[in-house]
A = this chain, B = another copy of it.
Amino acid sequence: MVVTKLTRQDIEDLALGATVLGTGGGGDPYIGKLMAIQALERGGEIELMDPDVVDDDAFVVAVAGMGAPVVMIEKTPSGKEAAASLISLEKYFGRKADYIISIEAGGLNSTIPLATAAELKRPVLDGDGMGRAFPELQMVTFHLYGVKATPMSMADEKGNSVILDTVDNFWAEKIARAITVKFGGVAWISIYPMSGRKYKEAAVKYSLTKEIEIGRALNDAKKQGKNPLDVLLDVTRGYHLFTGKIVDVVRRATGGFARGEAVIEGLEDFKGSKLVIRFQNENLIAIRDGEVLASVPDLITVVDKDSARPITTERLKYGLRVAVLGIPCDPKWRSEKALEVVGPKYFGYDIEYVPIEEAVKKWG
């Protein structure tokens, strides 16, 4: 079985790369990274395993933080909350999880499973349920392959816990979101309990390796004397959509989400243009001078113009000089069924999804 024992540097790289793929959401990278590194330093080990060698009847569970990222910055978790949610789900099933997985790519949601894994001594599988981040529970590849989100567990930092068993994944989202709001805006969840067989079929494989690769390239760019933005575009196979200065950010935490938009005024090659990015935890759509450049499910990532370090939606603010990247999503997201779940129409934008590779040809 292919096993990598993650080092502190791996976690640093992974947190950075995951924030790039988190496309504005997926949680704050500092908190999750810190928790994983602390767990490692307390003597825990984090084993990252090849997804293809998992037994068909293994028991696989995703661990994550749920809620508006802006709240998570204010309510720093102790690291016990996510473990508590997994323990409570395991008690409900009467079975321990053989493997922990990450539900999505994101600063927090890629690293919190690592912290839980170190805490509870379980291996992590190299593949999540998105290859990016999305705001709602049913927006995972597991959902597309018929896996139920429930039974799922939720825990808060006070010691409250809940187990949900819903008729479908939309109901799971609806009820879990209301509980998250009552929990104070953040919940720690264990979700999508599934067999190894189903996991292998449905996961976005090797996404954690990809996160480490992206983070490492970005971390190494400076010492190698390379331009960080070029390095990032290269390693993500991304497209440079815009460079500019943020001139306005509107944001509100509502219904358990951080919704809003950022307006960016063009600089350099983009002088005279304006880019608007709309987000719901994650960046959903990028509109330049009234024209849609990129939309979900493709990734829209805002980075610092010079360092190319990703900026999550809760940290967007007036005056920041940024570059905006468009990155192709995993092919699993481009089926008709997938677009019903995560396409622009689901989020209320009445446009057809155009894959970013084609879109760039159009606006050249």
A residues lining the B interface (CB < 8 Å): 88, 92, 158-167, 171, 174-175, 178-179, 181-183
Q: Measured between alpha carbons, how far is A106 from B159 in the docked complex, in Å?
A: 33
With a CB–CB cut-off of 8 A, which chain B residues contact A163? 92, 162-163
Could you list 14 A-B pairs, sorted by A, with CB under 8 Å? A88-B165, A158-B171, A159-B166, A159-B167, A160-B165, A160-B166, A160-B175, A161-B165, A162-B162, A162-B175, A163-B163, A174-B182, A178-B182, A179-B179
Q: A178-B181, A179-B178 are in contact. Are A162 and B165 (CB under 8 A)?
A: yes
Q: Chain B: which residue is nearest A158 at the CB level?
A: B167
With a CB–CB cut-off of 8 A, which chain B residues contact A182? 174-175, 178
With a CB–CB cut-off of 8 A, which chain B residues contact A164? 160-162
The answer to whether B175 and A179 touch across the interface, beta carbons within 8 angstroms, is yes
Q: A159-B166, A178-B178 are in contact. List 15 more A-B contacts (CB 8 A).
A: A88-B165, A92-B92, A158-B167, A158-B171, A160-B164, A160-B165, A160-B166, A161-B164, A161-B166, A162-B162, A162-B165, A163-B163, A174-B182, A178-B182, A179-B179
Q: Measured between alpha carbons, how far is A160 from B173 in the docked complex, in Å?
A: 12
With a CB–CB cut-off of 8 A, which chain B residues contact A166? 159-161
Q: Measured between alpha carbons, how far is A161 from B88 in the docked complex, in Å?
A: 16
Specify which of A159, A160, A166, A181 lies most central, judged by the most chain B CB atoms within 10 Å of its CB. A160
Q: Chain B: which residue is nearest A172 at the CB level?
A: B160
Q: Measured between alpha carbons, how far is A162 from B183 in the docked complex, in Å?
A: 15
Q: Tell me the smallest distance from the CB of A208 to a CB of chain B, in Å.
A: 32
Q: Tell me the smallest distance from the CB of A155 to a CB of chain B, in Å.
A: 9
Q: Measured between alpha carbons, how far is A58 from B24 in the docked complex, in Å?
A: 53
Q: Chain B: which residue is nearest A161 at the CB level?
A: B165
The answer to whether A171 and B160 touch across the interface, beta carbons within 8 angstroms, is yes
Q: Measured between alpha carbons, how far is A183 from B174 in the docked complex, in Å?
A: 9
Q: Tell me the smallest distance from the CB of A149 to a CB of chain B, in Å.
A: 12
The answer to whether B160 and A167 touch across the interface, beta carbons within 8 angstroms, is yes
Q: Tell me the smallest distance from the CB of A102 to a CB of chain B, in Å.
A: 25
With a CB–CB cut-off of 8 A, which chain B residues contact A88? 165
